[in-house]
Amino acid sequence: MLPLDPQADPGRRAWVACPNCNDARGCEPCETRRTCARHWRYLLTNTGSLLHLQCPGCTHVWVHESGFGATRSVWNGLTG
């Protein structure tokens, strides 16, 4: 299990499903795409619409293309 990133700040959050632990499965607010007090992710950084996230539960780190604003289909070989 990875440690929390030094940039992890509870004041910078995102509500995106974690691709590793899928802890929000069965959560009514999350499944209806509303914010939830339990299933948020650390928003480590962003570059335009590309979000760098970390799950506080399993500490998985990943990149997610939000589709908001100027989007990318591929960034350094990674897709969201």
Q: How far apart are CA 74 and CA 56, in angstroms?
A: 26
User: What was the pLDDT predicted at 33?
Assistant: 85
User: What was the pLDDT predicted at 64?
Assistant: 95
Domain boundaries, the chain: 13-65
Question: How confident is the model over 5-42, as pLDDT tens digits?
Answer: 988 999 999 998 999 998 999 999 988 988 889 999 99
Q: Count the neighbouring beta carbons within 10 Å of the beta carbon of residue 24.
A: 20
Adjacent-strand bridge partners of 65: 50
Question: How confident is the model over 35-64, as pLDDT tens digits?
Answer: 889 999 999 999 888 999 999 999 999 999
Listed residue (41, 35, 36, 37) closest to 4, CA to CA:
41
Residue 15 near residue 68 (C-beta atoms within 8 A):
no
